[in-house]
Structure 1
């Protein structure tokens, strides 16, 4: 018994309980337990409180950690990421209506941002600085910093620090589900916006929510559903919900050295204002936009060996595309590898299918690190591209291509119109796979060239080839195709003879041409001997200097240069028109026989072909008009052996005008009334033709002001007005019967002369001073222009669709990807003295029509009487 008590006492001592406590019984034991529980507990941190007892989804990445806590977004930003340059953008992952925006599209340009702190607040700042200091002007640099302070896009109270105080946590929910217009889902150029003018989209926060976050090594994404109510007055109401992925991507810590652009090259550029010290003139500087292309093995590259780049440009192509479509797109993009191989880079561009989650867990079309070619289930037939550029240096960081479903549905119409005369294989409802493959491949070579690699359009390139060579020399076309550059829009040899393919002609481009090799060299070839961007530019300028004067290397960016036509080939537009008109007539007279009733029972396809053929006829006429009034211009620097511009010689202008005015009477083969009756009720084609030709006539008049003072060797505005008068009233002078077209053109001309003379400005003899009915009628007619006011007149004409493009090329560029230099347009010339010319024409016109106001048939008498009495009312 004694031994038992000793053991029990020892056990109690080892367990930390004293014998005194044990002896006090149950009450004392309870007190001891309370004392033990009251020992100091670890204090819960502010960081822990944010997540305790809440539903949390966390994604950790290299630049930040993202938390969705219940319905809020908490951003955990490392302090080392403060003041690091980033890019913020918004892209559409899903949408309820593709007419509002396309899947994969970033509706607005990205924002350059950085995070900063003041007291216990994190600031999201937007940096829009467009200025650089070229030299060591520290005083100017400080002044610029004060004048270009980054704006505060958002401010967020710090909720907590992480455990080791290396990061701050703040709530950014409002930025991603609030009504931030700079991150909208709605494309400003969407089908809805273009068709329904005045439509407004109002975001509804109560129907918007966060759904997912994903953080990666160099970027992070926040996914949310954003809902908009849209309406126009009381007639149009719709709800649109978009799944948006907003990305924050880290810009390179060390910006790429900018490559300065030579404006004699077709480049997409980033413009900056260049400030100098010592009060030198502030001038613009342009950074070429380009991928960072550096040799993976510099020593081997220096030895002249072909090496792979450190970071090749990799495109990931949507697996939704058919195998044929995917193969054609891939081959078209990889065509540019030939140009990169010529400057020592092999496999510079690569194309891969979208990887599976097992192949690449981080892949997502919305992940900023991936260049994607996305399928878009839209009924439109276009293709859109968004290229993201580092605004500090011009380095291309990412590009996204969106291919709409109907692109390949609409393409056969264009192929048919341009090539059916030459290629018998396309004279059917459905294109052969091999033919469609070739054209899709060429389309994507052109598209990626002008939108993905830092280059832009060069519509002048195809003018380097002789029109006669393209028409008569099959061997030439097999070797050179249609153009020396895929940057041109010269996809078809539309002037090749009938059945040209059977005769050995090539009617499509051969791929990248001599000019493309030149541009890629100037844009991407390393210049290791240059230590600065300015030294590098001097080397590139020498490369360009060596090509000036050679038409193959000519680049021009002008609106009304005869050589700058889209879908144009060859060097002679007059010959082109004659060759193409015969080809067009052949197609117009036979196309309905080539398409069977079985393949087109409702005439829908044939109706589309007929409309395309007529649009092509209008394109050809427009190009003839540009030949008459256009000015050939050149991009040049001092001492270049080319002029700044060349006026078209009189004889060439005269021939073009004669063609234009001969075609004011629509040819019978264009009308095809017996066929139109099978296609359903539509506007009379001749009515559309009269409107368009009248517009071309007047547009020619407005642009010929630039020729004033150039002498008798050129057709100027005054000479053209007299030519116009003589042509349109030729039948009247001869006492011949007028056609419907004559009535229309004569009336329009008379009204235009009245408006241009300014006589219609006079108030009628009414006491209230109101304008006369005739003056009001003339002023309200959109087809009547006032030639004496060139600025207003040219603005009106530019708003009218002079050239009906079949592939609506968007020449507009955004702030970080703008084509170098301003598009050349006509200067506005004040020619008030021409009012006397129009007044004199009116007086002469009155005498021309006077003999016929009481003779001929009733319609003709009324027509001439209207002109005669209108002039009397205004002049007398």
Structure 2
């Protein structure tokens, strides 16, 4: 039958052709009426229906194709991409209020995700696995997979397959305009959240929308406007809209082999739980975060030649910066090339300006494959860095540096405070361009070193240099600068003598130092003979072993180690204090004369300098307190020729305490009341000083418990409390007139002894007989400045909350550490017991006898002061 139909169709077609020919030959006037049969209409596919009669913007990439269809986002995902590890993150492209988040910032850490299918849906899974199997045991691996199943972040019905069925299409609109908190635009540590505690941001979906898509070879961007309403209580309300770029990027198909971290090195790390078979103890393992640094010519590298890396680290710098700023930033970053060249890599780091669309059509600061240094029009005076790491291996994939507008505006204050005594050229309102250039360069060498290349802070490095060499040896400073490492925060030789620059001193770092070469070598030098991460670690450990005991190569990260001070140089804090105090006094007495009324008619700059100089004075006092109570520590492995820790000697503790307590009276040269009257109204400096010194005294008491049991060669807590009592009531015992500060310190000490002896309860639950006693107990218990030294938990909490000096301890380092203790600040435990209550109770009884002779003598204020202490003790303990 089929053959008959085919023959019939053929005959009909042939007949039609012949008839037409004959008619034409006879020149018939009759027009042929026969026409070819219409072809059957092509059936429209589900794929075509998605786009028919709609406004569509399509961006095709190697990883996926994105379709913006009216108000919907349709993702066309190749089937070969299912199961591939990816990273999902948000970055801010624009925002209505920079105090909520910075342009260029990724507010939260990126998510490790992958697409999968379940039934007729595509699901987006989040993989949070923090575990590795040290000996490749299949049984443990299977158990971990069952216990660490990736969570489902979103589920999307498959709407269609593409024409050749190699990709699926699904709608992901809700993820990118919804209220997914993991993709928020608001920085958890924004200026708004730090200042307006308790503020809440609520996303409004009806004012959020998709605006653009862009797909590239291995990543894709989805751009949305996200709107938040924020409020505090009933009075503060505002609206914030952010233009957010959400990026999906493929992680390397073959993860880089991790380099295990030696904790004796200052590194940023990824922490993993390491499971072993055979009931071995589960222990943490740390992957060093680092760029993939491989020779472009392995044979030449093996011959000892310097070669370029396969993939250099390229930074793109915002063209908004001035030429001076851009040049200083560039030179600061490229300083690290010296360390990479020492291990055989030429031009490993490169810096280029933002390319134009003609130069690079794919460039965008939001494109994940570009490392960018962005200008941020924020009034803040800092810089922020976000470094993105492959969570499977520790490979650094991208880094972004955000430089706030006021960073350079605030820098002259710091330069002045630390160097004006030594460098006459900075004793003016505006810094010389060459000076500012050098300090910006040094800042970015430090900043990128600790945040962009896998390394971290080493605040002990500068303690390797003798203080006397920095103070008295110009040749030493010219050769070595201030520190053997730019990973330290040791930007200025603040202990150099007056007019040191004229005398041939260098007062800034010389650039990367000996220790920096060592760390870069341990982190990046290829180890071709090693076949596993464990074999690599053995080689790195030998490199570190060879340096242990040499102060140049010491690394430590402890909060209460005297050598770990930011902006500290030299090995002797007591000498440093004496040298620096003289320099500070010189600046404090003269700074207002160095700045002309013409350059500073409203005294705003001089007021800023005065505040910075006083802040520096507080920093110096804090470093003295840390010397008194601190413990010198070492990062140590078994058989290393250094101790775990060293207690400060009694002599050094005593000298530090004597200095601290001598400065409980603020020097006249710090007050400068005649100058303050020319500035804006502000709190009396002496009141601020009393509060801060009291804080240092209390902090010293809470931390000295760690010295208990160390014998007579050290100041422990009990010995210190007795010292404190003797010092603060020295004038009383001698019958001398009290200064304003004495009234304040004595009252606080008495109340602290009452709280610590537990004659009253900290929470005012226990009340003695009589209304006056009850009122006093409640007053002391509710005073946040009064500590209960006999309560270990309270002491620890108080010690952790004391804002004693260095903001570096609170900085968001941008690390992607997972469950890691590596590199965490060491805190010393409070080891006291309730037996110390007897000490405080005994001092209370003795104190009553000390003040009793004066309750009816001297001037009225002094009598009332002593009577308050005397009668308070009577009512509480009798």
TM-score, with normalisation over the residues of structure 1? Answer: 0.96
Give the alignment partner of residue 852 of structure 1, picking from 834, 851, 854: 854
Alignment of 1:191 with 2:191, yes or no, is: yes
Indicate the residue corresponding to 1:868 in structure 2: 870
Alignment of 1:477 with 2:477, yes or no, is: yes
| SS class of match (2:666) | coil
Is residue 116–residue 122 contact of structure 2 (8 Å, CA) maintained in 1? yes
- Give me the whole-angstrom Cα distance separating, in 2, the residues matched to 1:765 and 1:715: 35
Indicate the residue corresponding to 2:8 in structure 1: none
Give the alignment partner of residue 776 of structure 1, picking from 773, 778, 791: 778
Is residue 267–residue 819 contact of structure 1 (8 Å, CA) maintained in 2? no
Question: C-alpha offsets along residues 278-298 of structure 1, whole Å, 9 cap, x if unaligned?
Answer: 221111110000000000000
Q: 1:61-72 alignment to 2 at 5 Å?
A: 61-72=61-72
Indicate the residue corresponding to 2:552 in structure 1: 552
Q: 1:372-411 alignment to 2 at 5 Å?
A: 372-411=372-411
Shift of 1:11: 8.1
Shift of 1:821: 3.6
Q: 1:817 to 1:320 in 2, by over 3 A?
A: farther
Shift of 1:802: 1.1
- Give me the whole-angstrom Cα distance separating, in 2, the residues matched to 1:494 and 1:808: 24
Indicate the residue corresponding to 2:149 in structure 1: 149
- Give me the whole-angstrom Cα distance separating, in 2, the residues matched to 1:809 and 1:248: 28
Shift of 1:135: 1.4
Q: 1:816 to 1:306 in 2, by over 3 A?
A: farther
| SS class of match (1:206) | helix
Alignment of 1:732 with 2:732, yes or no, is: yes
Indicate the residue corresponding to 2:9 in structure 1: none
| SS class of match (2:80) | helix
Question: C-alpha offsets along residues 412-440 of structure 1, whole Å, 9 cap, x if unaligned?
Answer: 00000000000000000000000000000
| SS class of match (1:725) | helix
Question: C-alpha offsets along residues 234-262 of structure 1, whole Å, 9 cap, x if unaligned?
Answer: 11111111110000000000000000000
- Give me the whole-angstrom Cα distance separating, in 2, the residues matched to 1:135 and 1:837: 55
- Give me the whole-angstrom Cα distance separating, in 2, the residues matched to 1:505 and 1:816: 44
Indicate the residue corresponding to 1:53 in structure 2: 53
Shift of 1:771: 7.7
Is residue 319–residue 353 contact of structure 1 (8 Å, CA) maintained in 2? yes
- Give me the whole-angstrom Cα distance separating, in 1, the residues matched to 2:772 and 2:361: 75
Shift of 1:819: 7.5
- Give me the whole-angstrom Cα distance separating, in 1, the residues matched to 2:760 and 2:21: 115
Shift of 1:818: 6.3
Shift of 1:719: 0.4
Indicate the residue corresponding to 1:787 in structure 2: 789
- Give me the whole-angstrom Cα distance separating, in 2, the residues matched to 1:601 and 1:443: 30
Give the alignment partner of residue 839 of structure 1, picking from 828, 836, 841: 841
Is residue 464–residue 551 contact of structure 1 (8 Å, CA) maintained in 2? yes
Q: 1:538-687 alignment to 2 at 5 Å?
A: 538-687=538-687
Alignment of 1:270 with 2:270, yes or no, is: yes
- Give me the whole-angstrom Cα distance separating, in 2, the residues matched to 1:808 and 1:58: 44
Q: 1:250-399 alignment to 2 at 5 Å?
A: 250-399=250-399
| SS class of match (1:146) | helix
Indicate the residue corresponding to 1:3 in structure 2: none
| SS class of match (2:209) | strand
Is residue 382–residue 807 contact of structure 1 (8 Å, CA) maintained in 2? no
- Give me the whole-angstrom Cα distance separating, in 2, the residues matched to 1:765 and 1:668: 44
Indicate the residue corresponding to 1:489 in structure 2: 489
Is residue 179–residue 203 contact of structure 2 (8 Å, CA) maintained in 1? yes
- Give me the whole-angstrom Cα distance separating, in 2, the residues matched to 1:589 and 1:782: 36
- Give me the whole-angstrom Cα distance separating, in 2, the residues matched to 1:18 and 1:205: 72
Shift of 1:790: 2.6
- Give me the whole-angstrom Cα distance separating, in 1, the residues matched to 2:21 and 2:722: 121
- Give me the whole-angstrom Cα distance separating, in 1, the residues matched to 2:512 and 2:711: 42
- Give me the whole-angstrom Cα distance separating, in 2, the residues matched to 1:478 and 1:672: 36
- Give me the whole-angstrom Cα distance separating, in 1, the residues matched to 2:403 and 2:214: 26
Is residue 768–residue 876 contact of structure 2 (8 Å, CA) maintained in 1? no
Question: C-alpha offsets along residues 186-231 of structure 1, whole Å, 9 cap, x if unaligned?
Answer: 0000000100001111111111111111111110000111111111
Alignment of 1:235 with 2:227, yes or no, is: no
Is residue 466–residue 571 contact of structure 1 (8 Å, CA) maintained in 2? yes
Shift of 1:799: 1.4
| SS class of match (1:772) | helix
Gaps of 5+ in 2: 1-13
Q: 1:811 to 1:631 in 2, by over 3 A?
A: farther
- Give me the whole-angstrom Cα distance separating, in 1, the residues matched to 2:795 and 2:804: 14
- Give me the whole-angstrom Cα distance separating, in 1, the residues matched to 2:152 and 2:82: 14
Is residue 57–residue 67 contact of structure 1 (8 Å, CA) maintained in 2? yes
Q: 1:858 to 1:14 in 2, by over 3 A?
A: farther
Question: C-alpha offsets along residues 711-765 of structure 1, whole Å, 9 cap, x if unaligned?
Answer: 0000000000000000000000000000000000000000000000000127445
Q: 1:771 to 1:859 in 2, by over 3 A?
A: closer
Shift of 1:557: 1.0
Shift of 1:12: 6.3
Shift of 1:277: 1.4
| SS class of match (2:207) | strand
Indicate the residue corresponding to 1:6 in structure 2: none
Is residue 634–residue 642 contact of structure 2 (8 Å, CA) maintained in 1? yes
Alignment of 1:525 with 2:525, yes or no, is: yes
- Give me the whole-angstrom Cα distance separating, in 2, the residues matched to 1:812 and 1:92: 16
Indicate the residue corresponding to 1:758 in structure 2: 758
- Give me the whole-angstrom Cα distance separating, in 2, the residues matched to 1:813 and 1:787: 35
Question: C-alpha offsets along residues 358-388 of structure 1, whole Å, 9 cap, x if unaligned?
Answer: 1101000000100000000000001000000
Moved more, 219-228 or 798-807: 798-807
Moved more, 789-798 or 125-134: 789-798
- Give me the whole-angstrom Cα distance separating, in 2, the residues matched to 1:759 and 1:832: 13
- Give me the whole-angstrom Cα distance separating, in 2, the residues matched to 1:297 and 1:715: 60
- Give me the whole-angstrom Cα distance separating, in 1, the residues matched to 2:864 and 2:319: 67
Alignment of 1:127 with 2:115, yes or no, is: no
Shift of 1:780: 1.2
Shift of 1:804: 5.6
Indicate the residue corresponding to 2:416 in structure 1: 416
Is residue 89–residue 111 contact of structure 2 (8 Å, CA) maintained in 1? yes
Indicate the residue corresponding to 1:113 in structure 2: 113
- Give me the whole-angstrom Cα distance separating, in 2, the residues matched to 1:14 and 1:827: 109
Is residue 86–residue 114 contact of structure 2 (8 Å, CA) maintained in 1? yes
Q: 1:16 to 1:303 in 2, by over 3 A?
A: farther
Is residue 289–residue 817 contact of structure 1 (8 Å, CA) maintained in 2? no
Alignment of 1:826 with 2:828, yes or no, is: yes
- Give me the whole-angstrom Cα distance separating, in 1, the residues matched to 2:384 and 2:21: 78
| SS class of match (2:159) | strand
Moved more, 770-779 or 601-610: 770-779
Shift of 1:535: 0.5
- Give me the whole-angstrom Cα distance separating, in 1, the residues matched to 2:200 and 2:136: 49
Indicate the residue corresponding to 2:3 in structure 1: none
- Give me the whole-angstrom Cα distance separating, in 1, the residues matched to 2:710 and 2:815: 35
- Number of residues paired by the alignment? 859
RMSD: 2.0
Q: 1:14 to 1:284 in 2, by over 3 A?
A: farther
Shift of 1:808: 7.0
Q: 1:764 to 1:112 in 2, by over 3 A?
A: closer
- Give me the whole-angstrom Cα distance separating, in 2, the residues matched to 1:12 and 1:521: 86
| SS class of match (1:517) | helix
Alignment of 1:705 with 2:705, yes or no, is: yes
Shift of 1:506: 0.3
- Give me the whole-angstrom Cα distance separating, in 2, the residues matched to 1:406 and 1:546: 44
Q: 1:623 to 1:864 in 2, by over 3 A?
A: same
